[in-house]
Amino acid sequence: MGLIQNVLAVIVVLGLLITFHEFGHYWVARRCGVRVLRFSVGFGKPIWSRVDRHGTEFAVAAIPLGGYVKMLDEREAPVPGDQLHEAFNRKTVWQRIAIVAAGPLANFLLAIVAYWALFVAGTTTVAPVVGEVTPDSPAARSGLANGQEIVSVQGSAVRSWDEINLRLIAHIGASGELVFQARDDASSDPSEYRLPVQDYLVRQDPPQPLASLGITPWQPRFPAVLGQVIDGEPAAEAGLQPGDEILAVNGRPVDEWMDFVSVVRASPGETLELEVARGDERLELTLVPGSREIETGAAIGYVGAGVEPVEWPAEFRREIRYGPVAAVGQAMSRTGEMTVLTLGAIRKMLVGLISPTNLSGPITIAQMAGDTARTGLESFVSFLAYLSISLAVLNLLPIPVLDGGHLLYYFVEAVRGRPVSERAQAVGLRIGLALVGMLMLMALYFDLMRLW
């Protein structure tokens, strides 16, 4: 069932992103008087198509990992004399720039609309209250203490752990101090805390912004009750079911969920004898955790099960909601922040501050799409918005075969007054194909390594 949900979720996500992207190209091309021959979502043989009154074929193809808009163009096929004025290559350089740029801009617009809808509908989050500070950590040396609520990071106000993580990720590679403001309670004034860092989060895979500073978020006590059990994983094979409560492991009582997690992580491949409460029954089950390697090379155990959610106290919940007009500015601001974050991540990956193993391909995207869909509409829409921004940024990179590569050629043409030579474009095309192919293979390789 999980695999089916992942596949359906990624089809919905990619379908929306590709459709918006290609519609941007299509809409501006039509406004510039270009004849569009085909608008295809997906590659390969069409499984559905129809032709509109303008002669454009709209198609859905079998391979949903991309799409394209095919325009009338003398460089691709002979064009009848009476249609030359509708050919893409006959349009002014600024019209061609507008048509090519419209795809990524449509993805930015989709992200803004998604964030706007979230801000208008309102999102519920938990207050960023510190649960534990690791001794001799940057947080401990700064004086940050348990129970304090973090209200700003590097001068930017924050209202949730997600916002804190976004602020911290933007400072990968920093050396010096990270400035926090935190307060003891809602009625007290915030105090400033300076957390010393050196090469912050450099080459961590995956980055752990809070743990690296010695901060553990506060959370309510979670009883060791299973909320989900993944088919085919060790927990399901042992006979565990959602709603089961783990009472003891190898005869030792389990008081809360993290007690059970600690035992599992420390016992890869070992046999664990569980005492389980299922309704009024008491069961004895045998569980053998699987083994998974972490970045240090050590192996940890996992069972493929999650804890049953508990209700957070009202004083720890925060609702973020804006009116329709105010939400526009907030949505544009969030889109801008995520764009800068994505560009920064690309730059830091190129200079070696971020490990290339953080690249994600279709498998990881499918897993994340499925996970966010199961979590709820809010998480799914947030993921859709971020993926739309990522697609826009990547397409604007000045790499031939991508929109950014075409824009580079057209801007050069606008400055020089004549097009880039066909030979130079052909060489660039080969280089671009090699780069994009290499990135796709790397992303797929790291996907398979995560899956393994």
Torsion of CA 366, 367, 373, 375, to 10 degrees: -170
Q: Which residues pair with 307 in a beta bridge?
A: 226
How many CB atoms neighbour CB 234 within 10 A? Answer: 22
How many CB atoms neighbour CB 390 within 10 A? Answer: 21
435 in the same domain as 418? yes
User: With 70 as the cut, is the pLDDT of residue 296 above it?
Assistant: no
- Give the tens place of pLDDT for each residue, 301-334: 889 998 888 888 888 888 888 999 999 999 999 9
Residues 6 or more apart in contact with residue 198 via CB below 8 angstroms:
175
Residue 61 inside a domain? The answer is no
Tell me how long the chain is. 452
What is the DSSP track for 209-269? Answer: TTGGGTEEE------SBEEEE-TTSHHHHTT--TT-EEEEETTEE--SHHHHHHHHHT-TT
267 in the same domain as 149? no
Six token digits for residue 167: 């602020």
Residue 7 inside a domain? The answer is no
Q: What's the structural domain count of the chain?
A: 3
- Give the tens place of pLDDT for each residue, 377-406: 788 888 899 999 999 999 999 998 899 999
User: Residue 262's domain is classified under what CATH number?
Assistant: 2.30.42.10
Residue 173 inside a domain? The answer is yes
- Give the tens place of pLDDT for each residue, 23-43: 999 999 999 999 999 999 888
Residue 74 inside a domain? The answer is no
- Give the tens place of pLDDT for each residue, 189-237: 899 999 999 988 887 767 788 999 999 998 888 899 999 898 888 999 9
231 in the same domain as 152? no
- Give the tens place of pLDDT for each residue, 130-153: 999 999 999 999 999 999 999 999
Domain stop point among 185, 217, 249:
217
Strand, coil or helix: 444: helix
Give the integer Cα–Cα distance in Å for 316 and 151: 13
Query: The domain containing residue 253 runs over which residues?
Result: 226-305
Domain stop point among 189, 217, 245:
217
Residue 8 inside a domain? The answer is no
pLDDT of residue 1: 46
448 in the same domain as 365? yes
Confidence of residue 170 (pLDDT cuts 50, 70, 90): confident
427 in the same domain as 382? yes
397 in the same domain as 301? no
452 in the same domain as 327? yes
The residues assigned a catalytic role are 22
For the purposes of burial, counting CB atoms within 10 Å of the CB of 50, is it exposed (0-12), middle (13-18) or buried (19 or more)? Answer: exposed
Give the integer Cα–Cα distance in Å for 13 and 201: 30
355 in the same domain as 234? no
Give the integer Cα–Cα distance in Å for 296 and 349: 20
Q: What are the φ/ψ torsions at residue 355 (nearest 5 degrees)?
A: -65, 135
Residue 336 inside a domain? The answer is yes
Task: Confirm if 347 and 83 have CB atoms less than 8 A apart.
Answer: no
